Amino acid sequence: MLYTRRNPTCAQAINSTVLGNLNVTKKTIFTVHGFRPTGSPPVWMEDLVEGLLSVDDMNVVVVDWNQGATTVIYNHASRKTRKVAIVLKEFIDQMLAEGASLDDIYMIGVSLGAHVAGFVGKMYNGQLGRITGLDPAGPLFNGRPPEDRLDPSDAQFVDVIHSDIDGMQYFKCDHQRSVYLYLSSLRENCTITAYPCDSYRDYRNGKCVNCGISQTESCPLLGYYADNWKDYLRERDPPMTKAFFDTAEEKPFCSEW
């Protein structure tokens, strides 16, 4: 389903042979939902589409794989992720044939959708412009080799928000919290700075990078604008950075400490 500023509230059905209003010269963002045991659409999808179109004139493609994701048996849904990725590659191939660039393709995947995005990226040898994983699904993927899950090598820039990981005796957040944190980054008055650090314990003990005014280059913002720091982050050794942050308990989640 395609949304643009020409049709911001009424989706246009598209497929690999009918691209509709999609302008291949503009950035295209694919949003991929995850496991849907009840079959209901994600409650945040409308807000995500609206937020993305508010910050840039782009194509937003909502990937509806509810038929595969709707089941009470998680394993069944997880096995469909590669099939969804193959269908998406067919669509992107058509975009490329009509003049699109892989640099302008950005995939946002939630839960199982994050691994769908990763599988698409692998089929393009990591040349997609960007992948954002929002709480990538853990069961059946954690501990697997890179070819079987989302991996930092799957795009030119891969950023992941983990909001529901156990650890360090701190309460983890709801599995959907990462989506709302990302949504908050689309609002001009809400920025969350991420502090590069080796561990959450070090972060809590103030042993991380100083993110004062003179060090802003080394401290990325969470969410949509994180890729403004991609050149700096990719030059780090190793080129994978852990960063930590605090949030407020309620929307829009911005927090200063």
CB 242 within 8 A of CB 198: yes
Distance CA 182, CA 146 (A): 25
Which one, of 1, 128, 130, lies nearest residue 61 by Cα?
A: 1
pLDDT value of residue 256: 53
Domain boundaries of the chain, sorted by first residue: 2-184, 189-257
Name the active-site residue from 33, 78, 111, 151: 111
Name the active-site residue from 135, 151, 159, 227: 135
As assigned by CATH, the class of the 2-184 domain is alpha beta
Residue 2 host element (H or E):
strand 2-4
Which one, of 135, 61, 54, lies nearest residue 105 by Cα?
A: 61
CB 58 within 8 A of CB 2: no
| Token digits of residue 128 | 């997609």
pLDDT value of residue 158: 96
Over its length of 257 residues, how does the chain's per-residue pLDDT go in tens digits?
A: 999 999 999 999 999 889 999 999 999 999 999 998 888 889 999 999 999 999 999 999 999 998 888 888 899 999 999 999 999 999 999 999 999 999 999 999 999 999 999 999 999 999 999 999 999 998 889 889 999 999 999 999 999 998 865 544 334 444 578 999 999 999 877 788 888 888 888 888 888 877 765 445 678 889 999 999 888 887 776 677 888 888 777 777 776 54
CB 245 within 8 A of CB 221: no
Active-site annotation holds for 111: yes
Which one, of 225, 218, 224, lies nearest residue 243 by Cα?
A: 218
pLDDT value of residue 211: 76
Active-site annotation holds for 151: no
Query: Residue 133: which residues within 8 A CB-CB, separation 6 or more?
Result: 109, 114, 117, 118, 150, 158, 159, 160, 161
Which one, of 130, 88, 147, 152, lies nearest residue 226 by Cα?
A: 130
Distance CA 70, CA 86 (A): 19
Strand 59-63 with 28-32, pairing: parallel
pLDDT value of residue 197: 87
Distance CA 186, CA 49 (A): 11
Residue 106 host element (H or E):
strand 105-110
- Tally Cβ neighbours within 10 Å of residue 99: 9
Distance CA 135, CA 138 (A): 8
Name the active-site residue from 101, 148, 175, 218: 175
pTM passes above 0.75: yes
Which one, of 192, 197, 138, 135, lies nearest residue 168 by Cα?
A: 197
